[in-house]
Amino acid sequence: MELFNVLTVKETSKVIDENFNYEMGGEDVTLADAEGRILKHTIAAKDNVPDFKRSTVDGYAVYSKDTFGASESIQSILELKGEILMGQEAKGEISIPGQCYYVPTGGMLPKGADSVIMIEYTEKLDETTILASKSTSPGENVIEVGEDIKKGETVIRKGTKLRAYEIGVLASLGFYNIEVYKRPVIGIISTGDEIVHPSESIKTGQIRDINTYMLNSLALDKGCSPVRYGLIKDEYELLKSTAEKALSECDIVLISGGSSVGKKDNTVKVIKELEDSELLVHGISVKPGKPTIIGKSKGKIIFGLPGHPLSCAVIFQVVVKYYIDKITEHKEILYPIICKFKFNYHKAKGREEYLPVTIEEKDDEFSASPVFGKSGLITSFSKAYGYIRIERNEEGIKEGQTVKVYKF
């Protein structure tokens, strides 16, 4: 019987980096369809934002020196020369001391104005006379040309996952059609004689297919396009032909189940016999998820994922997502929640562990509790908020210890 030659998670990532140079193509989308897509090229500003001096308040555009010393007891007298309309170029000009123009929030400042006095600190004496009871300083209540974004400035780097905020920036810069990475197509194959469709009644010894639909959702959440190839019995030829079909149609192939070393675990055999194939990883020193396989065929990656749902989910989060980010140049930053651990928890040294936990808040402090359960139990992670990563050389976590919880 073949035994695992396990690698660490770090070693596994290095194997992936050294063996795959797969390039995802790009496609143009409009801003309306850009949410969640990965930017393929760095964006630089075509213009200054804003490209004119504008007011941040409703008030009167002035030359600041004309208001120096103004107070409620000694008001500055200003001559109202006109009104700047929203969305229009300022036609007026402050050409002599003591002039002002009304300007709305976001409106353009006229030539000669360097600040805006808020309308709350003014009084309209008549149609052409404004009394100011507060002084202004140069630049007060004004956004300068290019203060937000300067022409030529890098504003969004390639590999960025576009959110509403980046899309708003792109709109402000005049970009409507942008190039993003195509969605990686992920083929999902579930194998096992004991697995049946979720809609079927189960007999003794059978279990419903969890991993197909869990992986489908994880792929969608990661911005990929999943293709489900159905349930495949533990038959070598059937699994091989299905894997070949998936490889011809997809960028990544996931085979759930059959990754251990039992007599009917055919995933390794299939990967070895695929065209131009190579078995790169068979076993990762991680709990849960040790019996994980990574192979290569015609430049494409194949993952043999453990059949146990929790193990399968953990390996997707730790290894599959790493590869998806690699081919789309996406650099995801995960911000954990800092919690106090509520129990003493012991683990064996020698492999990383990803421990599912629940969290709760009390007196403005978060605490984390482990979700105890074997890796095959679906409730082990359906109840969990996230997971704690325990280093391979650590023996566990002590009660009261500060831990970082990453969301599933």
Mark 217-246 as b/e (b = at least 16 C-beta within 10 Å).
Answer: ebbeebbbebbbbebbebeeeebbebbbeb
The CATH number corresponding to 54-143 among 3.40.50.2000, 2.170.190.11, 1.10.760.10, 3.40.1280.10 equals: 2.170.190.11
Sequence spans of domains, the chain: 9-25+183-328, 27-49+152-181, 54-143, 337-407
Q: Which pLDDT score is estimated for 373?
A: 62
- Other CB atoms within 10 Å distance of the CB of residue 373: 15
The CATH number corresponding to 27-49+152-181 among 2.60.120.330, 3.30.70.270, 3.90.105.10, 3.10.105.10 equals: 3.90.105.10
The residue count of the chain comes to 408
Query: How many Å is the Cα radius of gyration of the chain?
Result: 31
* 9-25+183-328 maps to CATH 3.40.980.10: yes
- Other CB atoms within 10 Å distance of the CB of residue 341: 22
Q: How far is CA 10 from CA 127, 220, 278, in A?
A: 74, 26, 20
Query: Chain-centre distance of CA 358, in angstroms?
Result: 22
Q: Which CATH class is domain 337-407?
A: mainly beta
Q: Which residues contact 115 (CB under 8 A, 6 or more apart)?
A: 61, 62, 63, 64, 67, 136, 137, 138, 139, 140, 141, 142
What is the C-alpha to C-alpha distance for residues 307 and 376, in angstroms, rounded to an integer?
8
Q: How far is CA 287 from CA 218, 306, 312, 357, in A?
A: 20, 11, 11, 14
Mark the ranges of the chain whose per-residue pLDDT is less than 50.
1-3, 376
**Half-sphere exposure at residue 175, Cβ-oriented, CA atoms within 13 angstroms:** 24
Q: How many helices (H) and strands (E) does the chain have?
A: 8, 28
Task: Give residue-wise pLDDT tens across range 212-266.
Answer: 999 999 999 999 999 999 999 889 999 999 999 999 999 999 999 876 655 556 8
Cβ atoms of 125 and 76 within 8 Å: the answer is no
Task: Give residue-wise pLDDT tens across range 119-132.
Answer: 999 999 999 999 99
